[in-house]
Amino acid sequence: MDTTQLQQWIEANRIWATGVVFLLVILIYLFTRLVLARGLIYLTQRTKNKYDDILMQKLRPYRAAWLAPFIILYAFAYLAGNDQLTVEKFALFFILWLSAVSLNGLIDALNQIYESSPSFTGVSIQGYLDIIKILTLIISVILSVSLLTGESPLLLLSGLGALTAVLMLVFHDTIMAVIASIQISAHDLVKEGDWIEVPSYGADGTVVNMSLHTIKIQNWDKTLTVIPTHKLIEVAYKNWRGMQDSGGRRIMRSVHIDQTSIKFCEPEMLDRYRKIDLIADTVTKRQTRIEAYVQKTDGIDSPLDGPQITNAEIFRAYVEAYLRNHPNIHNPRKMDFLVRELAPSPTGLPIEVYVFTKTIKWNDYERIQAEIFDHLLAAAQFFDLRVFQQPSGSDFVKALKTD
């Protein structure tokens, strides 16, 4: 039977032909769903590659299986006679939206594959992919309206010019988000995995997701803060990526010395300090200078005469030597390294430590910092210095007992 004879038979037996088509549609649907879709899912579950699992999860083969029967329905719509146009529009409408939803699923799959790849550096492309998804949905809506009304899509697009102001109002946040996403990406301001602080939103944690409209931050207390993307370029925030990339984290903390315990060093004190290995050379050099001055001037009449040295100065030299020899502190040639006195205050004389640890891990950093200041607080008394602290109840009790 050739094509002409088949066409004549269909015209003569339209009811039977329609029944055959509906049966064919059902069989095609069952085949694509139960054989093709299920087979693809079965195969992807047996492979070690995780990317095909992501594709199947986002594309949803069972949903995509509906495409085949609607394509068959559209191809044989002429069997409906006077209702041919209605059947064609019905089939095309579902083909259009199934394709649009599947395309958006494919875009989501590509984004997830990109972010799960070993080469992912935290630079998110989800904002750009969201733009493509929005354009896909807009085109689908325009084609759907064109399909249902019978008007040309170009005619509908030309009519959108009069609605520009309305569209600008409706899509204001989206337009702002697109501009912000481009700026964030172009200037490499924030990317997934960054630790950022946004005080105006109470956010302090790691960026876990960046989409077109929102940036999701998981705070250190495990709560989530969601910030509109365009707001991030309008408010002040701190990005700790520089610290993470440098490989060092700053310690900037002070030991407060009771100013009444600071005094000029006597020979006995210098002899005692010289036994400390870390500063033995420093103390010896200062002693030599003092002795040379004494020989030159036949003695020192006042503690204010000559090149005197205080116990606070010796203590600063010790702190610096201790930190230079600390295995977890960067040396001055690589990162800033400073031990200095700040302005005296009612809480004593601050001796500030400004150095960088060799680790950026939070728990290790806190442990190193605590070990350093525990040591310095305990060491201060060996230099005849007292650490300042506000009087407590026991201090008042001791004072009363003394009286």
Residue 361: inside a domain: yes
Question: What is the DSSP-derived secondary structure letter of residue 333?
Answer: T
Are 179 and 310 within one domain?
A: no
Residue 87: inside a domain: yes
Are 205 and 266 within one domain?
A: no
Give the residue among 136, 100, 129 at the shortest CA–CA distance from 112.
129
> What pLDDT shows up at residue 68?
80
Given 218, 239, 260, the domain boundary residue is 239
Residue 349: inside a domain: yes
Question: What is the DSSP-derived secondary structure letter of residue 258?
Answer: P
The domain total for the chain is 3
Beta strands in 276-322 (DSSP E): none
Helix, strand, coil share of the chain (percent; to 5): 65, 15, 25
Strands 214-219 and 224-228 turn out to be antiparallel
Mean pLDDT over 191-205 rounds to 91
Q: Checking phi first, is residue 140 left (phi over 0); if not, alpha (psi -120 to 50) or beta?
A: alpha
Given 165, 184, 203, the domain boundary residue is 184
- Give the Cα separation of 13 and 8 in Å (integer): 9
> What pLDDT shows up at residue 7?
55
Residue 211: CATH number of its domain: 2.30.30.60
Are 176 and 208 within one domain?
A: no
Residue 267: inside a domain: yes
Could you give phi then psi for residue 400, rounded to 5 degrees? -65, -40
Residues 6+ apart with CB under 8 A from 131: 178, 212
Question: What is the DSSP-derived secondary structure letter of residue 314?
Answer: H
Q: Are 87 and 80 spatial neighbours (Cβ–Cβ below 8 Å)?
A: yes
Q: CB 57: neighbour CB atoms within 10 A?
A: 15
Residue 244: inside a domain: no
Given 184, 207, 222, the domain boundary residue is 184
Give the pLDDT band of residue 66 (cuts 50, 70, 90). confident
Give the pLDDT band of residue 81 (cuts 50, 70, 90). low
Give the pLDDT band of residue 54 (cuts 50, 70, 90). confident
Tens digits of residue pLDDT in 376-401: 999 999 999 999 988 776 666 666 66
Are 219 and 255 within one domain?
A: no
pLDDT at 27 over 80: yes
- Give the Cα separation of 251 and 365 in Å (integer): 9
Are 329 and 294 within one domain?
A: yes
Are 66 and 167 within one domain?
A: yes
Domain coverage including residue 177: 3-184
- Give the Cα separation of 263 and 308 in Å (integer): 10
Residues 6+ apart with CB under 8 A from 182: 127
Q: Are 381 and 347 spatial neighbours (Cβ–Cβ below 8 Å)?
A: no
Q: Are 278 and 272 spatial neighbours (Cβ–Cβ below 8 Å)?
A: no
Are 44 and 14 within one domain?
A: yes
Are 158 and 202 within one domain?
A: no
Mean pLDDT over 110-120 rounds to 77
Q: Is the dihedral of CA 301, 304, 307, 310 positive or negative?
A: positive
Give the residue among 373, 258, 359, 366 at the shortest CA–CA distance from 322.
373
Are 62 and 156 within one domain?
A: yes
Q: Are 279 and 321 spatial neighbours (Cβ–Cβ below 8 Å)?
A: yes
> What pLDDT shows up at residue 366?
95
Give pTM, 2 decimals: 0.59
Give the residue among 30, 25, 100, 36 at the shortest CA–CA distance from 69.
25
Are 273 and 232 within one domain?
A: no
Are 221 and 347 within one domain?
A: no
Are 275 and 158 within one domain?
A: no
Longest dimension (CA), the chain: 136
